[in-house]
C-alpha cells in the first residue's frame, strides 16, 4: 500500500511492514496484501524463512503425557555436580554432604499388640499358677438327701486352729499354744450373695448347739473335729436349710501370712484388749495391725461378751482385710498384689470344684455395701458338751428361710 510522504508533497511512499514467513501466509500460498509476491523458490531450494514446526501427535495423543515427579529414594546418593565438586575435596561448595536421615519406621500398632499379648499371657500364667496353688478337698456333697438349690450363692468360710506348717518358733510367736488335738474351727461365717441386693455375712457361733449327722446334738465346731469339712458343711446345711455352693478354709499360718503380705491392715478397735493367751495387747482406737496381732484379734475372747465380741471382731477384720486387698494401691502395685495373691492361694483349702476366679468373685461381692449380722441367739445353756449357744426360735428359722428364698433379711435381725 502506498502513501504520501509528509516531507514530499504529492509523492507517494511505501508503508513498511515486517516480513512474514512463508508459512504465515494463508495456506502458505500468497504473501500478505500490499506486498508484491516474489518469484517462487526453485524446487528443492530453501525458502526465505524456515517453515514453522507443527506439533506432531504423540502416539495418537494430542500432547505428551504429563511427567509425574518421582520421590527420591533415600538410599540413592545425590550425584556430584558436573566437572567435579567446586569446593575441592569437599563436595557441595566446601560444605560436608548432608548425611542421609535414618529411616524412621512407625510401628506403634505393632508394639501395642505385643504389649497386649504379653499382658494377656502374663495374666493367664498368673491365674493358672494361683489356681494350681490351692489345696482342694471334697468338702461338699457326698451324702444322701442333700438340701436342694436355694436362691443366690452361699459360701462357708472357716478359720481353723490348725498348726500345720508352723515351726515351734512360729507357733510361739503367734501364741497358738501346742498341739490342740483334733482340729477345730475358731471362725465360721456363712456368706450369702443374693440374686440382687447386698451381700449378707452371717456369723455362726462355734458353740451353737446343733444336730450333727451321726453324732447327735453337740457344738457346731465339733462337727469339724469329727468329720472335717464334709461333715461341717452337711451340719450347716441341715441346720440352716441353705445349700452351700463353695467352701474356703484357712489356718493360723496362712492367716498371719496374708496380713503381713499386705503390709498390715488398718483396723478401728472398739476397746482395749489384753489377752496373753492370744498374744494380744492393743489399745482402743484406729491403728495398724500386723499378722500376729490380727490373728490374736480374731481369736481373743478376753472381752465382756466373749464369743459375741469375737464374732464382731472377725467381721471387722474381714472387712478391713478386703478393703486393703482390693484398694487401688494394692491392685495397681504388682509388688504388693502378687505376694498377697500367692500367700492367699497357698494358705487356702477349697472344695474340689472351686477355682481362683470363684474367690475373686467372692472378694468383689464382699467389697461393696454388705450386711454383717449374727444368727439370732436365744440364750445359753449348760449341757454335756459344755456351755452352748441356743438359736432363737422361730427367728432363726425365719431368717434362713428369707435367705433361701432370696428375700430381704427381716429387720428384727438385720441390726444384730
CA–CA distance from 251 to each of 113, 157, 203, 209, 324 (Å)?
A: 43, 11, 18, 24, 20
Q: Give mean pLDDT, residues 64-83.
A: 61
pLDDT score at 45: 55
* 310 Cβ contact list (under 8 Å, min separation 6): 298, 299, 300, 301, 303
> What gap in Å lies between CA 287 and CA 198, rounded to an integer?
28
pLDDT score of 62 more than 70: no
pLDDT score of 121 more than 50: yes
Confidence of residue 88 (pLDDT cuts 50, 70, 90): low
Residue that wins the pLDDT comparison between 168 and 139: 139
pLDDT score at 189: 92
Nearest Cα neighbor of 250 from 237, 238, 259, 241 is 259
> What gap in Å lies between CA 197 and CA 183, rounded to an integer?
36
pLDDT score at 244: 95
Residue with cell 512407625: 106
> What gap in Å lies between CA 296 and CA 280, rounded to an integer?
5
C-alpha cell recorded at residue 357: 476366679
**Interval 227-276: pLDDT, tens:** 999 999 999 999 999 999 999 998 766 777 888 888 888 988 888 889 88
> What gap in Å lies between CA 403 and CA 149, rounded to an integer?
12
Confidence of residue 85 (pLDDT cuts 50, 70, 90): low
C-alpha cell recorded at residue 162: 490348725
pLDDT score at 139: 92
pLDDT score at 113: 82
pLDDT score at 1: 47
Q: Give mean pLDDT, residues 36-53.
A: 57
pLDDT score at 104: 54
Residue that wins the pLDDT comparison between 381 and 168: 381
Confidence of residue 138 (pLDDT cuts 50, 70, 90): very high
Q: Which pTM was predicted?
A: 0.68
| Residues 149 and 140: beta-carbon distance below 8 Å | no
**Interval 206-222: pLDDT, tens:** 899 999 999 999 999 99
The alpha helices in 241-272, defined as continuous H runs, are: 252-261
pLDDT score of 355 more than 60: yes
Out of 57-61, 300-304, 314-318, 345-349, pick the least confident.
57-61
* Phi and psi at residue 20, to the nearest 5°: -110, 150
**Interval 100-116: pLDDT, tens:** 666 555 567 778 888 88
Average pLDDT, whole number, for the chain? 77
Half-sphere exposure of 69 (CA within 13 A, CB side): 3
pLDDT score at 55: 59
Query: What string of DSSP letters covers 185-202?
Result: EEEEEEEEE-SSS-EEEE
Residue that wins the pLDDT comparison between 373 and 170: 373
Which domains are assigned to the chain? 127-414 (3.40.630.190)
pLDDT score at 173: 53
| Residues 211 and 238: beta-carbon distance below 8 Å | yes
pLDDT score of 24 more than 70: no
| Residues 221 and 182: beta-carbon distance below 8 Å | no
3-state secondary structure of 378: strand
> What gap in Å lies between CA 49 and CA 219, rounded to an integer?
132
Q: Give mean pLDDT, residues 306-329.
A: 83
Q: Give mean pLDDT, residues 166-192.
A: 64
Residue that wins the pLDDT comparison between 413 and 347: 347
Confidence of residue 65 (pLDDT cuts 50, 70, 90): low
pLDDT score at 332: 84
Amino acid at each position: 500500500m502506498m502513501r504520501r510522504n509528509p516531507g514530499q508533497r504529492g509523492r507517494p511512499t511505501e508503508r513498511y511492514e515486517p516480513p512474514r514467513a512463508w508459512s504465515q501466509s494463508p495456506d502458505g500460498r500468497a504473501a500478505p496484501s500490499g506486498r508484491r509476491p516474489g518469484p517462487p523458490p526453485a524446487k528443492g531450494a530453501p525458502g526465505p524463512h524456515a517453515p514453522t514446526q507443527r506439533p506432531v501427535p504423540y502416539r495418537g495423543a494430542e500432547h505428551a503425557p504429563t511427567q509425574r515427579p518421582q520421590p527420591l529414594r533415600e538410599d540413592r546418593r545425590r550425584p556430584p555436580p558436573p566437572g567435579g565438586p567446586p569446593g575441592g575435596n569437599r563436595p557441595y561448595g566446601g560444605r560436608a554432604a548432608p548425611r542421609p536421615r535414618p529411616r524412621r519406621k512407625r510401628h506403634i500398632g505393632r508394639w501395642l499388640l505385643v504389649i497386649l499379648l504379653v499382658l494377656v499371657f502374663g495374666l493367664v500364667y498368673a491365674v493358672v499358677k494361683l489356681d494350681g496353688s490351692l489345696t482342694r478337698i471334697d468338702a461338699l456333697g457326698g451324702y444322701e438327701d442333700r438340701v436342694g438349690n436355694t436362691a443366690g450363692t452361699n459360701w462357708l468360710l472357716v478359720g481353723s486352729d490348725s498348726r500345720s506348717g508352723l515351726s515351734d518358733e512360729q507357733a510361739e510367736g503367734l501364741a497358738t499354744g501346742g498341739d490342740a488335738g483334733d482340729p477345730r474351727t475358731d471362725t465360721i461365717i456363712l456368706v450369702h450373695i443374693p440374686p440382687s441386693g447386698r451381700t449378707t455375712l452371717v456369723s455362726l457361733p462355734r458353740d451353737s448347739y446343733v444336730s450333727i449327722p451321726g453324732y447327735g446334738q453337740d457344738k457346731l465346731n465339733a462337727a469339724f473335729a469329727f468329720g472335717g469339712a464334709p461333715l461341717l458343711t452337711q451340719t450347716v446345711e441341715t441346720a440352716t436349710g441353705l445349700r452351700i455352693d463353695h467352701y474356703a478354709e484357712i489356718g493360723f499360718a496362712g492367716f498371719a501370712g496374708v496380713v503381713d503380705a499386705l503390709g498390715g491392715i488398718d483396723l478401728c478397735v472398739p476397746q482395749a484388749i489384753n489377752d496373753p493367751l492370744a498374744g494380744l495387747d492393743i489399745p482402743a482406737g484406729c491403728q495398724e495391725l500386723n499378722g500376729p496381732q490380727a490373728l490374736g484379734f480374731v481369736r481373743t475372747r478376753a472381752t465382756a461378751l466373749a464369743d459375741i465380741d469375737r464374732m464382731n471382731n472377725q467381721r471387722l477384720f474381714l472387712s478391713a482385710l478386703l478393703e486393703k486387698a482390693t484398694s487401688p494401691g494394692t491392685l495397681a502395685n504388682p509388688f504388693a498384689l502378687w505376694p498377697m495373691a500367692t500367700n492367699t492361694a497357698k494358705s487356702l483349702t477349697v472344695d474340689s470344684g472351686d477355682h481362683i476366679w470363684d474367690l475373686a468373685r467372692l472378694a468383689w461381692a464382699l467389697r461393696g455395701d454388705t450386711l454383717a449380722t449374727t444368727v439370732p441367739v436365744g440364750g445359753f445353756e449348760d449341757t454335756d458338751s459344755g456351755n452352748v449357744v441356743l438359736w432363737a426360735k422361730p427367728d432363726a428359722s425365719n431368717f434362713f428361710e428369707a435367705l433361701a428364698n432370696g428375700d430381704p433379711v427381716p429387720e428384727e435381725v438385720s441390726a444384730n
